[in-house]
Chains A and B, each alone.
Chain A
Amino acid sequence: MGVYDFFPEYEVVRNDTTCVNCRVCERQCANGVHSYHPEITPARLLADSTQCVDCQRCVLLCPTKSLKIVQSNNTYKLNNNWTKKEINEIITQASTGGVLLSSMGNPEPYPIYFDKITINASQVTNPSIDPLREPMETRVYLGSKPEKLTRGPDGKLQSNLGPHLALAMPMLFSAMSYGSISYNAHESLARASEELGIFYNTGEGGLHENFYRYGKNTIVQVASGRFGVHKDYLYAGAAIEIKMGQGAKPGIGGHLPGKKIVDDISRTRMTPEGSDAISPAPHHDIYSIEDLSQLVYSLKETTAYTKPVIVKIAAVHNVAAIASGIARSGADIIALDGFRGGTGAAPTRIRDNVGIPIELALAAVDTRLRQEGIRERVGIIAGGGIRSSADIVKAVALGADAVYLGTAALLALGCHLCRACQTGKCNWGIATQEPDLVKRLNPNVGYKRLVNLMRAWQHEIMEIMGGMGINSIESLKGNRLMLRGVGLNETELGVLGLKHAGE
């Protein structure tokens, strides 16, 4: 630590009375925090907190619970304007001259609207439903639906239904590329999706040859870098997603460092080994809704109109108007990604300052599409900040057909949100390509944990719906009367389309 560094924000604290020198902390820390010193008496393990990212790996593996990581109480003179965070960032940038990089979702204290919305329940005049005794439907069909039903001269219904995705529950795993996350993380997501009857998303990294067999539960992504895109890839998935933007970093492209592009990843991405894979900020062939429409139809043409096309955008200021354009472009599904959405690496200033909350974006889009009479043309997937089954219920009532879960899925796999993905040294074997670290995530364990989490949330969704007297998730969709705002101002209630509690 030099004169232009700063004291570590988190400190490793070891209880030397109970530590038995088993050295598991030393062996399992990819950041080299712990070191064993037999040369001192008694022999001891020491910790270098400057290298600690607070991933909790050592804390949880320590068999005598002798380790904890605490927020440092070393402090600058208190200042509400120049906080420790602001000062430390300036110190870092004055040393490096570089853009600050961060990972995972925006951690700043913006309002979380989900926490200011409550859900209704039935009392006396309308019966609630017991999901353990009565049927409860969580199946969702994602895609374009006819605006009205028509009958032919023979009186039979004319079917003009395009391709749909059938989900056993209103959740999908969001796009995380092979490269940003490990092979074992992808295998866990793919196997869990197959068992649950839902979908995972390749992200912009192509599809590993071993995972083509999970194709019917895979959404393949086409992003601005077009990495890993070829005809077999497009055919392999159940749907194709065009990524226009990402909630964590609206307006900029992806950046996978060359050191993460090794062997299989280079082959899957179709990019050279060791060279950075940089996705351009815009799609260079899309500068209008008409251009987007061309790409949508190119992909549909390539796959003989058998796959729904999703267009994913970051939630930004004009999101409702943009979504209206997308709904008219021929896309079957719109994915909205709020500013709490995760990432494997993003410039800190972008992640923390660009975009809008998913709750507001979702409500605005659903409202606009209804006003324009085109809501049925598209399905809506909301992502970026969904933390629990209650958030899912609220998102559905605000107008989503289903939700994307990224961070929650990674948490199930062992992530502790240390937000150091960009270093490529994930101690949990998730956001890394180092073979010794990748093997720390055993997909046989990982996929079961994902299945457990999704099943638990499905149960909770059924319980909450039952309480409202609703027995099908479709009846909840856009049903904003089932929600009330608490402590929101009139503008916020107006955008959300909600009444205040008590009204």
Chain B
Amino acid sequence: MRRIYVNEEWCLGCHLCEYYCAFAQTGGASMALALKDKQINPRIHIEDAEKYDSKGAEVHFAVSCRHCVEPYCVKGCITGALSIKDGVIQIDQEKCIGCYTCVLSCPYGCVAPADDGKVMQKCELCLNTTSGEPQCAKNCPNAAIVYEDRG
């Protein structure tokens, strides 16, 4: 199955993935129209560590859902809002009651509240957006985020 893989060796901390993610969720035709004067709440986050790697470069890396084979978030979900469909962990926001169990149980910090804070949101590989493929990977300028099948 194709998943999103991130590689901090090439992550520049440009944060473009966050904007392309937020834009993809809006389903709009123009990023300027969709995101102008908006606070974005993307499903991918870049961590900017104040640390340096072995080559002396600043460390940045993308935090994005790994779509675990045995996900704690799905196990812990008390309403069945989280489910696995064809290997992709999806969330049904109609069923979500905002108990935050998934937020607490995800070891990678990849589930987070939606804008209103009452339901959760997470990466669904852009399958439910008009773009159809993960926009973070497609628009990463340095191939630090890739969408590929590694078995």
Contacts and interface: CB of A to CB of B under 8 A. Distances in A.
Given A436-B57, A442-B143, A445-B143, A61 B16 contact: yes
Given A18-B32, A63-B20, A445-B143, A439 B15 contact: no
B142 to A, nearest CB: 5
A435 B57 contact: yes
Contact of B56 (A66, A435, A440): A435
Most buried by A among B38, B53, B58, B141: B141
Interface in A26-54: 27-28, 42
B143 A438 contact: no
A23 interface: yes
Interface stretch (B6-14, B70-78, B81-89): B6-14
Interface in A419-447: 435-436, 438-440, 442, 444-445
Contacts of B51: none
B31 interface: yes
Given A20-B19, A20-B32, A66-B32, A435 B55 contact: yes
Contacts of B58: 435-436
Contacts of A42: 37
B150 interface: no
B57 A438 contact: yes
A18 B36 contact: yes
B37 A63 contact: no
B52 A442 contact: no
A388 interface: no
B25 interface: no
A79 interface: no
B139 interface: yes
Interface in B15-50: 15-16, 19-20, 23, 30-32, 35-38
Contacts of B12: 27-28, 436, 439-440
B55 A438 contact: yes
Interface residues of B, number: 28
A17 interface: yes
B32 A439 contact: no
Contacts of A302: none
A17 B30 CA distance: 12
B38 to A, nearest CB: 8
A22 interface: yes
A439 B16 contact: no
B46 to A, nearest CB: 10
A222 to B, nearest CB: 29
Contact of A63 (B19, B53, B144): B19
Given A24-B15, A61-B16, A17 B142 contact: no
Given A20-B32, A63-B139, A445-B142, A439 B14 contact: no
A475 interface: no
Nearest to B52: A435
Contacts of A436: 12, 57-58
Most chain B C-beta atoms within 10 Å of own C-beta, residue among A63, A64, A439, A445: A439
A28 B32 contact: no
A64 B28 CA distance: 13
B122 to A, nearest CB: 22
Contacts of A435: 52-53, 55-58
B36 A439 contact: no
A61 B14 contact: yes
Given A27-B14, A438-B55, A20 B142 contact: no
Interface string A180-207: 0000000000000000000000000000
A432 to B, nearest CB: 12
B112 to A, nearest CB: 19
Nearest to B11: A439
A27 B13 contact: yes
A28 B12 CA distance: 8
A436 B9 CA distance: 11
Contacts of A22: 15-16, 19, 35
A252 B83 CA distance: 69
A28 B14 contact: yes
Contacts of B19: 20, 22, 24, 63
Interface in A441-463: 442, 444-445
B143 A439 contact: no
B36 A63 contact: no
A288 to B, nearest CB: 45
Interface in A201-242: none
A440 B57 CA distance: 10
A444 B140 CA distance: 14
Contacts of B9: 439
Contacts of B139: 63
Interface string B52-64: 1101111000000
Nearest to A183: B55
A18 B144 CA distance: 27
A444 B15 contact: no
B8 to A, nearest CB: 10
A47 to B, nearest CB: 17
Contacts of B55: 435, 438-439
Interface of B: 9-10, 12-16, 19-20, 23, 30-32, 35-38, 52-53, 55-58, 139, 141-144
8 contacts: A20-B37, A20-B38, A61-B16, A64-B31, A435-B56, A435-B58, A438-B57, A439-B142
Interface of A: 17-20, 22-24, 27-28, 42, 61, 63-64, 66, 435-436, 438-440, 442, 444-445
Sorted from nearest, which 10 A-B pairs have the closest CB atoms? A435-B57, A18-B32, A435-B56, A20-B35, A64-B32, A442-B10, A22-B19, A442-B142, A435-B55, A439-B57
Given A22-B16, A63-B23, A435-B57, 7 more contacts: A20-B32, A27-B12, A27-B14, A64-B30, A436-B57, A439-B9, A439-B12
